[in-house]
Amino acid sequence: MNVFRTRPEALAQAASRRWFFGECGVGLAGIAAGSLLSAEARAASSLSRPLAVKQPHFAPKATRVVYLFQAGAPSQLELFDPKPELSKSDGKLPPADLLKGYRAAFINPNSALLGPKYQFQKYGTCGMEMSELLPYTGKIADDICLIRSMQTDAVNHAPAQILMNTGSQQFGRPSFGAWTLYGLGSEASDLPGFVVLTSAKGTSGGTSNYGAGFLPTLYGGIPLRSGGDPILYLSNPKGIDRDTQRASLDTLSRLNDLSFKNVGDPEITARIQSYEMAYKLQASAPELMNLADEPKEVLARYGIDDPTKAGFARNCLLARRLLERGVRFVQLFHEAWDQHGNLTKAIKANAIDTDQASAALVTDLKERGLLDDTIVVWGGEFGRTPMVQEGNDGRDHHNRAFTMWLAGGGIKRGHVHGATDDFGFNPVADTVHVHDLNATLLHLLGFDHTKLTYRSQGRDYRLTDVHGSLVQGILR
């Protein structure tokens, strides 16, 4: 069974016929055990299709998302937001009026300013200024939109991460990916619709960063893990080969089908299908994770020396493979950026780990014609203070201003949105709150963010809570 075709058009074809977890009624005819099942089973199975493809409110600019979440919060002052004035004020105290009502997480806000540790330069024909630490991102400057005026409410990691990902500092809400899957359904053939890839260490927000919250659990992100089974319990127990597995599942399906004939509960057919999907996943997930068929040039572009080595670069390439296979939402979590100290060295190392692969993903998607209807998001949960922490080489959490970049469907290219004051402390123009960003991303996916709702406990909840306005300035 050739489940995978790497040509996008072939994948699109496959996706239109059969959807993972989604189009049960249609999918059933095509699955291996389909012919074993009674006609009633096939009829009943079309009753509930929570992941069937759905139309958004209006024509979308993009239908997929790849979110490169930089957990720990990268310093915008070393990467994206040039502040020559801050260099000049190095060692001086910040102006008192700036600090009114301000709260950093660790430091006394009245700490000395710290000049940026790296030089900035102009990149691309648009002349976007970014750090010398980002030569590869520099090469895609003309493809991306930098938002230098991001703002958030939280100053501690876990609350800020879940705010960024679920629109609330309170736990229990669905993540952006879950909302997307709930709104659009899944088009992936034989793979989950919302996949999570992780590198470095575990995130502060934990599984809530990609959970389903109060939505049905099947909208939650499913981690594809490196080391061991990419999907939990994917491998058969020792001694059981694929033929035995097939025979076991055939018998299981037949017995379940006999039960269905007797009981008539459509849930039984859904269960039969879940086992068939599991069987396919046992082939599709390892195939997906195996980069042996990727040409050397491609690996080199992402900066992957060893295609089996786990890490951010490998995850970027996996993200492209997932998107090609129709996965709706891919989210990478790279928890590495919390530089309270050792800033100069650590941020450089982080940039080396992420710069090349992030840029390669954008370029790769562009060359394959996928960027036009994919949104790429790059950023963390907040920014870093212009003030120093720990001697002369660290920055604290800063929620007032930070930078993220976007690329892809419907998003301006080679554009800088928003600006901050001389110290990078506050936005001076076009502030973009987390809710505004999420409202805009949903807009690109074809949703009015105030109308994509789910009722829980009598209230119609939204990703943007009761906030959010469209950021027109970043839309093409």
Closer by beta carbon to other proteins, 3 or else 298: 3
Tokens in use for 166? 């679920």
SS3 271: helix
Check binding of 270 to other proteins (CB under 8 A). yes
User: What is the C-alpha to C-alpha distance for residues 403 and 383, in angstroms, rounded to an integer?
Assistant: 7
Count CA atoms closer than 13 A to 342's CA, side-chain side. Answer: 7
Within 290-329, the residues that bind other proteins by CB under 8 A are none
Site for other proteins in 110-129 (CB under 8 A): none
- In angstroms, the CA 239 to CA 189 distance is 28
- Among the candidate windows 7-15, 131-139, 201-209, 322-330, which touches other proteins by CB under 8 A? 201-209
Tell the smallest beta-carbon distance from residue 26 to other proteins (Å): 17
- Footprint (CB under 8 A) of other proteins, residues 234-253: 234-241, 243-245, 247-248, 251-252
Window contacting other proteins (CB under 8 A); options: 133-141, 219-227, 299-307, 422-430: 219-227
**127-156 binders of other proteins (CB under 8 A):** 156
Bridge partners (DSSP) of residue 194 are: 329
Give the one residue of 60, 116, 174, 205 binding other proteins; rule: CB under 8 A: 205
User: Shortest Cβ distance from residue 457 to other proteins (Å)?
Assistant: 4
How many beta carbons lie within 10 A of that of residue 51, not counting itself? 26
Site for other proteins in 156-185 (CB under 8 A): 156-159, 169-172
In the range 37-76, which residues lie near other proteins by CB under 8 A? 47
Binding status of residue 100 toward other proteins by CB under 8 A: no
DSSP 411: B
Phi, psi at 291, each rounded to 5°: -90, 15
Does position 264 bind other proteins by CB under 8 A? yes
How many CB atoms neighbour CB 287 within 10 A?
A: 16
Minimum CB distance to other proteins, residue 148 (Å): 25
As measured in angstroms, the least distance from the Cβ of 346 to other proteins is: 14
The number of residues that bind other proteins (CB under 8 A) is 88
Cα distance between residue 476 and residue 472, in whole Å: 8
The partner residues of 406 in beta bridges, in order of sequence, read: 145, 377
258 is an interface residue for other proteins by CB under 8 A: yes
In the block, tokens 């659990």 appear at: 217
Is 335 an interacting residue with respect to other proteins (CB under 8 A)? yes
Contact 449, 58 (CB under 8 A): no
Asked if 30 is part of the footprint of other proteins (rule: CB under 8 A), the reply reads: no
Rank residues 105 and 475 by Cβ distance to other proteins and give the closer one. Answer: 105
- CB 252, min distance to other proteins, A: 5
Residues within window 394-453 making contact with other proteins, judged by CB under 8 A: 396-397, 448, 450-451
Question: Rounded to whole angstroms, how far apart are CA atoms 134 and 112?
Answer: 27
Residue with tokens 């650590």: 346
- Which CB sits closer to other proteins, 64 or 449? 449
Pairing of strands 419-420, 427-429: antiparallel
Q: Is 388 in the site for other proteins (CB under 8 A)?
A: no
Least Å distance, CB 432 to other proteins, is: 21
255 binds other proteins (CB under 8 A): yes
State the nearest-atom distance from the C-beta of 355 to other proteins, in Å.
24
* Among 42, 54, 139, 254, interactor with other proteins by CB under 8 A: 254
When asked if residue 355 is in the footprint of other proteins (CB under 8 A), the reply is no
Nearer Cβ to other proteins, position 54 or 57?
57
472 binds other proteins, rule: CB under 8 A: no
Is residue 102 classed as helix, strand or coil in its secondary structure? coil
Determine how many CB atoms are found less than 10 A away from the CB of residue 390. Answer: 15
Q: Decide whether 7 or 92 has the Cβ nearer to other proteins.
A: 92
Q: Is 345 in the site for other proteins (CB under 8 A)?
A: no
- Decide: is 99 part of the binding site for other proteins (CB under 8 A): no
Q: How far is CA 113 from CA 87, 173, 205, 230, 384, in A?
A: 9, 37, 29, 45, 12
* Segment interacting with other proteins (CB under 8 A) among 78-86, 208-216, 369-377, 429-437: 208-216
CA proximity to 64, closest of 221, 210, 180 = 180
Instruction: Indicate the residue among 97 and 241 with the shorter CB distance to other proteins.
Output: 241
Asked whether the beta carbons of 391 and 397 are under 8 A apart, the reply is no
What does the DSSP assignment read for 219-248? GS-EE--SSS-SSTT-SPPTT--HHHHHHH
Integer Cα distance of 460 and 214 in angstroms = 12
State which of residues 112, 278, 283, 419 lies at the interface with other proteins (CB under 8 A). Answer: 278
CB distance 212 to 175 below 8 Å: yes
Give the shortest CB-354-to-other proteins separation in angstroms: 18
Q: CB nearer to other proteins: give 211 or 427.
A: 211
Show the tokens assigned to 320: 């492209």
Where is 268: in which H helix or E strand?
helix 266-289
